[in-house]
Structure 1
Amino acid sequence: MLVRLMYASRAAASMDTETLAAIMKKSRAHNPQVGVTGVLCHSGGIFLQVLEGGRLPVSQLYNRIANDPRHHDVALLRYEEIGERRFAGWAMGQVMMNMLNPALLLKYSERAELDPYAVSGEVSMALFDELVASASVMCQS
């Protein structure tokens, strides 16, 4: 049984590029072993992530994230059973927010900034779909 889970969280401390790169490296090493794929956005101290895979591995990973002291205000935005993955090509893809056209964010929210707390899970998923379609996601594994 495949599932897709989307959550948002706030970084407990300032997140520099080295720390984010270490998180991505660990995700890309671990996720294939448990069959998890997905995409991560990070901007302004906010994480927005989609995880896909088997129900148990995705749930276990989400629970680790929710209990990780580097995150707070962890909010489950969407959880669904799926017939196929949208993000199968990424052990963990990363949205390059610094290269993103602000108009794309304005299409889905009031301001040109990532704020999944201010929009629905459905809107956040539409944003992810458009990011993938526009090749704004990098680091395929």
Structure 2
Amino acid sequence: MALQQLIYASRPFGYDSSVLAGILSKARVSNKQNDITGSLICRSDIYLQLIEGPSEKIDTLFEKIRRDDRHVEVTVLSRAQPQDRLFPEWDMKHDPAHSWLWSPDEIHDGILQTVSADQVRAVFIRSSEAS
């Protein structure tokens, strides 16, 4: 079964700490059941998430995310089939943007339309090293 790694960005709709806690709690339970690991970097203007696991499970999860009304402007930034997981020990790591690379102004001005998959993945590599 092929390992798939997907990175997407979205804009939070109705972001607050209770919404975030609910997302993380449900994700950790569901991801554990589905052999999915990953990390969520978030703040009030963006969700940036890496999910990794069996290809069909990632596809199913991503369809759920796309339909979730807590996200708007869901955009795939990278899709790969790596040899190894970046977050093997994390059902869903929460990174409250401490390893962040782009400012809110850069996000607002559209930096996500110009960054490469390698640049986006580098954000998660830094986050994984801070585990």
TM > 0.5 between the two?
yes
Size of the alignment, in residue pairs?
126
Which residue of structure 2 aligns with residue 95 of structure 1?
95
One-letter identity of the residue aligned with 1:18: S
Secondary structure of the corresponding residue to residue 86 of structure 1:
coil
Which residue of structure 2 aligns with residue 62 of structure 1?
62
TM-score by length of 1: 0.81
Which residue of structure 1 aligns with residue 80 of structure 2?
80
Which residue of structure 2 aligns with residue 127 of structure 1?
123
One-letter identity of the residue aligned with 2:17: T
CA RMSD of aligned residues (A): 1.9
Measured against aligned partners, the alpha-carbon deviations of 1:43-95 in whole angstroms (never above 9, x if no partner) come to 13310000000000001000110111111110000001122111111000010
Q: How far 1:120 sits from its partner (Å)? A: 2.4
Q: In the aligned structure 2, how far is the partner of 1:53 from the partner of 1:37?
A: 6
Query: For 1:1-141, what aligned pairs fall within 5 Å after superposition?
Result: 1-13=2-14, 15-97=15-97, 100=98, 105=100, 108-109=101-102, 111=103, 115=107, 117-118=112-113, 119-135=115-131
Give the 3 Å change call, closer, same or farther, for CA 24–94 of structure 1 in structure 2.
Answer: same
Which ranges of 4 or more aligned residues in structure 1 deviate by more than 4 Å? none
Q: How far 1:121 sits from its partner (Å)? A: 2.4
Unaligned runs of 5+ residues in structure 1 are: 136-141
Give the 3 Å change call, closer, same or farther, for CA 83–42 of structure 1 in structure 2.
Answer: same
Q: In the aligned structure 1, how far is the partner of 2:27 from the partner of 2:74?
A: 18
Q: In the aligned structure 2, how far is the partner of 1:132 from the partner of 1:80?
A: 17
The percentage of aligned residue pairs carrying the same residue is 29
